[in-house]
Structure 1
Amino acid sequence: MFYILLSVIGGAFVTLSMIINGNLGERIGGLKGTLINYITGLSFAVVLFLVAKLTGNTLSIDRSNIAGIPAYAFFGGMLGVCVIVLSNKVIPKIPAIYSMVLMFVGQLIMGMVIDYFSFNKFSVGKLIGSVFIILGLLYNFNVDKKTSKKVVEN
Structure 2
Amino acid sequence: MLYGLGILAGLVLPIQTSVNTNLKNRAGGSPFLASMLSFTIGTIALLFATLLSGQSLFFSSHLFTSQPAWIWLGGLFGVIGLTTNVLIFPYLGAVQTVIMPITGQIIMGMIIDNFSLFDADHHAFTIIRLVGVILLVVGILMVVLDKKASDGADKAKQLPWQILGIVAGMFQASQAPVNGHLGVVLHSPIHAAFISFLVGTIILFVITGLVDRSYVHAKDAIGKGNPWWIWLGGVLGAIFVLSNAFLSPQIGAGTTVVLVLLGNLFGSVMVDKYGLLNSPKKPVGIMKYIGLVVMLIAVAIIKLY
User: TM-score normalized by structure 1?
Assistant: 0.76
Relative distance call for 1:147 and 1:98 in structure 2 (3 A) is closer
Identity %: 24
Asked if structure 1 preserves the Cα contact closer than 8 Å seen for 2:17 and 2:89, the reply is yes
- Specify every segment of 5 or more residues in structure 1 that has no aligned partner in the other structure, as ranges: 150-154
The 3-state SS of whatever aligns with 1:121 is coil
Quick one: which amino acid aligns to residue 132 of structure 1?
A: L
2:14 corresponds to which residue? 15
Relative distance call for 1:21 and 1:99 in structure 2 (3 A) is same
The alpha-carbon deviation at position 41 of structure 1 amounts to: 0.9
CA RMSD, Structure 1 to Structure 2 (Å): 2.6
Runs of 4+ in 1 over 3 A off after TM superposition: 64-70, 144-149
Quick one: which amino acid aligns to residue 90 of structure 2?
A: P
How do 1:1-154 residues align onto structure 2 when only pairs under 5 Å count?
2=2, 4-27=3-26, 28-50=29-51, 52=52, 57-60=53-56, 61-63=58-60, 66=63, 69-118=67-116, 119=122, 121-145=124-148, 148=151
User: TM-score normalized by structure 2?
Assistant: 0.41
Relative distance call for 1:30 and 1:72 in structure 2 (3 A) is same
The alpha-carbon deviation at position 78 of structure 1 amounts to: 0.7
Quick one: which amino acid aligns to residue 89 of structure 1?
A: L
The 3-state SS of whatever aligns with 2:9 is helix
Asked if structure 2 preserves the Cα contact closer than 8 Å seen for 1:25 and 1:32, the reply is yes
- Specify every segment of 5 or more residues in structure 2 that has no aligned partner in the other structure, as ranges: 117-121, 153-305
The alpha-carbon deviation at position 86 of structure 1 amounts to: 0.8
The alpha-carbon deviation at position 145 of structure 1 amounts to: 4.3
Higher-Rg member (1/2): 1
The 3-state SS of whatever aligns with 1:94 is helix
Which whole-Å CA distance do the structure 1 matches of 2:79 and 2:6 have between them? 22
Aligned residues: 143
The alpha-carbon deviation at position 143 of structure 1 amounts to: 2.9
Quick one: which amino acid aligns to residue 40 of structure 1?
A: I
Deviates most, 82-91 or 130-139: 130-139
Asked if structure 1 preserves the Cα contact closer than 8 Å seen for 2:20 and 2:35, the reply is yes
